[in-house]
């Protein structure tokens, strides 16, 4: 059971119960669905059904920005569903990707030929597009522009694999960096954040690249099993004849070297992440941005030099994820979390790893940028052993009750 994984981390057990007893409302306030139109309620239902990681934090955003980001997500999910659907022939898929932004203004347009699991966002696209057209012009302009640019980029990579490290950056820009840029422009358009947040596309791009590279690194085996690969050839070709060879037991040492090279590359975006987060002023926007970033940092730490990347699935503990959600609500806490996971990676750097010098260099840059607090606040909140023991006992006795409630939240987070 997941509770057993947290027994050595009593602060996680404490936060699991704190989350269950109402602490979740500090980062995920309950929405008033009754005041929404029927089509908007349907959009939020689709959001919860299709989002692997952002549904909860999207619904915690303030005011009209929440609806704009919800629709932005669903539009891009529909676009991504077209890209992922291998049953759509290229001669049909390329024009769909290029023209997708124009469908936002075609009230009846829908696509019923997809076989993907998220096809409902295409089949019922009129419900999404009508809510798009209900948004303010300042939001529509951003969403349409990003949708157009992303569709063109996706089409570019349909028939080629990621080759160089520069191409890896370019691919991640198209599928995630543009999301960061679009979100930042939406934040500024809502006036919840300063115009500078929307203007600085370099920092916004880094926010997206860090998340996307983390997902690509973690999902190596899943992608291989589905016949696709997003690890750049420039990296894996240094260690194997074919990217799939990295999963062979006899190639473990080379596989770990390749893994660590890519983790190091992803870590170079962390200083930009820290700078970006330090500029945010609205609490809901900060939570929305910070929580996925610290979870990505925890995931990279778990992946670094970990053979499980090539043998199964690397996941952070549920208690760990809840703790990060509860704590990553201010800049000091985020800096402390980043510092902690940077230190964890540092302790795993091998003397013989080919990327050792680069890894140490970027970890030092992160350490300087994060400026950890003197005690890192110890993340256990200095709870007494008696209290922690009682919490652990209570957790063991009440786990069945907790699982049902917390499990529902994690359906949205995945």
Active site residues: 171, 218, 228, 288
Residue labelled with tokens 């201010």: 330
Q: At what angle do helices 283-303 and 331-348 cross, to 10 degrees?
A: 10
CA distance 21 to 79: 38
CA distance 88 to 91: 8
Given a contact cutoff of 8 angstroms between Cβ atoms, the answer to whether 205 and 184 are in contact is no
CA distance 409 to 414: 9
End-to-end CA gap in the chain: 18
**What's phi and psi for 133, nearest 5 deg?**
-70, -15
CA distance 410 to 414: 6
Q: For the beta carbon of residue 404, count every other beta carbon within 10 angstroms.
A: 8
DSSP string, 273-326: HHHHHHH---HHHHHHHHHHHHHHHHHHHHHTT-GGGGTS-----HHHHHHHHH
CA distance 99 to 148: 7
The pair of three-digit structure tokens given for residue 318, joined into one six-digit string? 């549920």
Q: For the beta carbon of residue 305, count every other beta carbon within 10 angstroms.
A: 16
DSSP string, 225-268: HTT---S-HHHHTTT-SSGGGGGSGGGHHHHHHHHHHHHHHHHT
Given a contact cutoff of 8 angstroms between Cβ atoms, the answer to whether 44 and 69 are in contact is no
Give the CA-trace dihedral at 6, 7, 12, 18, to 10 degrees.
Answer: 120
Q: What is the Cβ-side half-sphere exposure of residue 358, based on CA atoms within 13 angstroms? A: 13
| Distance (Å) of CA 385 to CA 4, 11, 85, 164, 380 | 18, 11, 53, 51, 11
Q: For the beta carbon of residue 63, count every other beta carbon within 10 angstroms.
A: 12
């Amino acid at each position: 059971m997941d509770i057993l994984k947290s027994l050595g981390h009593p602060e996680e057990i404490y936060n699991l119960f704190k989350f269950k007893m109402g602490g979740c409302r500090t980062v995920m306030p309950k929405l008033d669905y009754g005041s929404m139109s029927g089509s908007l309620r349907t959009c939020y239902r689709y959001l919860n059904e299709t989002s692997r990681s952002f549904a909860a934090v999207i619904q915690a955003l303030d005011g009209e920005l929440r609806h704009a980001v919800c629709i932005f997500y669903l539009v891009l999910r529909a676009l991504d569903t077209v890209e992922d659907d291998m049953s759509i022939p290229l001669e049909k898929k390329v024009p769909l990707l290029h023209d997708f932004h124009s469908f936002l203004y075609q009230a009846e347009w829908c696509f019923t030929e997809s076989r993907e699991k998220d096809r409902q966002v295409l089949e019922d696209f009129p419900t999404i597009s009508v809510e798009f057209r209900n948004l303010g012009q300042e939001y529509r302009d951003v969403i349409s522009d990003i949708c157009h640019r992303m569709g063109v980029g996706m089409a570019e990579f349909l028939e080629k694999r990621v080759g160089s490290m520069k191409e890896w950056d370019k691919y991640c820009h198209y599928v995630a960096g543009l999301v960061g840029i679009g979100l930042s422009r939406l934040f500024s358009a809502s006036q919840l954040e300063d115009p500078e947040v929307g203007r600085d596309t370099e920092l916004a791009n880094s926010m997206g690249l860090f998340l996307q590279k983390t997902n690509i690194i973690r999902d190596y085996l899943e992608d291989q099993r589905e016949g696709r690969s997003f690890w750049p050839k420039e990296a894996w070709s240094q260690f194997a004849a074919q990217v799939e060879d990295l999963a062979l037991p006899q190639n473990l040492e080379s596989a770990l070297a390749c893994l660590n090279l890519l983790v190091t590359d992803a870590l170079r975006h962390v200083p930009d992440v820290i700078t970006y987060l330090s500029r945010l002023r609205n609490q809901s926007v900060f939570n929305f941005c910070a929580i996925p970033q610290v979870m990505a940092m925890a995931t990279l730490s778990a992946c670094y030099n970990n053979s499980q990347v090539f043998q199964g699935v690397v996941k952070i503990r549920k208690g760990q994820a809840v703790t990060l959600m509860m704590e990553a609500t201010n800049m000091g806490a985020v800096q402390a979390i980043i510092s902690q996971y940077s230190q964890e990676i540092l302790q795993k750097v091998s003397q013989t790893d080919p990327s050792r010098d680069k890894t140490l260099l970027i970890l030092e840059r992160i350490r300087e940028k994060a400026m950890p607090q003197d005690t890192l606040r110890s993340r256990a909140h200095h709870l007494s052993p008696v209290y922690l023991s009682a919490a652990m006992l209570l957790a063991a006795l009440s786990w069945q009750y907790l699982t049902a409630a917390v499990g529902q939240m994690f359906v949205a987070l995945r």
